[in-house]
Chains A and B, each alone.
Chain A
Amino acid sequence: MAGQSGSQLSLFTPDEVEFVAEDELVEIVPNLRMDSLNFICGDYGPFYPQIAIQVPLWLALALKKRGKCTIRPPQWMSIENLTQVLEGERESHAFQTLPFHYVEISRLLFDRARDDIPDVYMVRSLVEDIRDVRFHKVETNLENFTASAVTWKNMAAMEVNIIRAFSGRALQAFYRHENEQAVPDLDRTQDRQPQNLNDRPRVCRSFCCIPIFPLHHWIDKIVFISCLLDYCPTIVFLWRAYCLFVVPLQRNLRPR
């Protein structure tokens, strides 16, 4: 079982990934005159009106919010480039080259600098299509995992973060089973319990969708579907017996 307690420490929330992405540089065109800013994270400026300058994304968004600049969308966010990238993603199995934080950067710009992006709806739909195609590739590639090191070229930060917890635990389980290390007994009992819990919902499901005093033809449909899904033939048989024999008796005994 790929369960592992204590993996919470190593998880990054999406906000933390966005925080890291906000340090990427973007180009802005300020409309004010300002002296240079000497931050702890670096020196930027001086700012002259209509002269483009590179600043971190968080600074650009702060200035944009106060109406002090316009943000130039990055080179990779043009419609031509995105269409090319989308075609490339659809045709090949590998990932196309995109900035590591393209998801966060595009989302922040769509939310707060929409008027600075030409054809924003087109760009937005292209980015979403690219995200869908790439994530579909990630899901299919997950089937090819082995216990050894897995490498991926050009995967983006948000995609990595989404599968981090699951793939880490799965790889660890593969590694453990393949190497058959001497695992202490304590670990094994902990691993066994979650497995039993997983089996129970599948049996309960066929009970839950059928109420206590049902209509016969309605049960039969559900039972038939349950059979097809191969949930639990024995339970199905017992339900049919219940419907055929017990319910008519209850109907007769129920006061009208």
Chain B
Amino acid sequence: MDFKKETRILYCWIAQIGNLLLRSLWRLIHVIINLCYLTLGIAKAFESYLISWGILRRYKSLQVAKLRYLAIVVESKDACQTSKIIELLQWLADVGVKHVCLYDMEGILKKSKDFILEELDGAILFGEAYENNEIPDQAQMTLEFASFSDGKEAVAKAANVLFMKYLKSGATDQNQEEAIFTESQMAEALKTVGSGGPEPDLLLVYGPARCHLGFPAWRMRYTEIIHMGPLKSMKYGSLIKAIYKFTMVRQNYGK
């Protein structure tokens, strides 16, 4: 009996030591990964300074015309830093990006929109210029402000618009297997509820993780998503690099 008890105690000790070893190994791996990311961050920062100073020649000529619509996703707690947002928008204006959608989950940017538009000379709200589902070709910069309510909640509102039209059309006796709504009807319904807008070609995420934080799903089919890191450490060179990489992408759109 003593032998069995001692064996049990021994196994218990072995299990605890084993667990401790596993935990230590796991923490060590994560420390190494964090160091790797830190090193990578330093290298990227250095590269972005080289790009800003014009030393890396290939980034000098950007085909910005390919970037018709840009979205920027910002972590909501960083969205209060309106000076950073304005600086970012001024960089984009300097590069020649005309149409920008600013998104944060909680709608902080929406609350600051008047201030942001005031600070940016000549910028107007996108909705004023967006007609016939086409991105307008104009000299002024247009800004759109979006939040989580423009995503799933807007789809629910649009669904109600479609449902009402469906009921009023009297086509409720049709074969229930057939599609009754089309993508263009949905796009119109989203516009009706104030959440229509073009699909961004590129989406830049300023936050701790590469995650789009609920950007309107309907508008993101083929959008390139690039993670830029935290807003507080944004760099002009990194922005140029992200736009340059986008202009080099070739999409098949499923073909």
| A associates with B | no
Q: Mark A residues whose CB is within 8 Å of B.
A: none
Q: Mark B residues whose CB is within 8 Å of A.
A: none
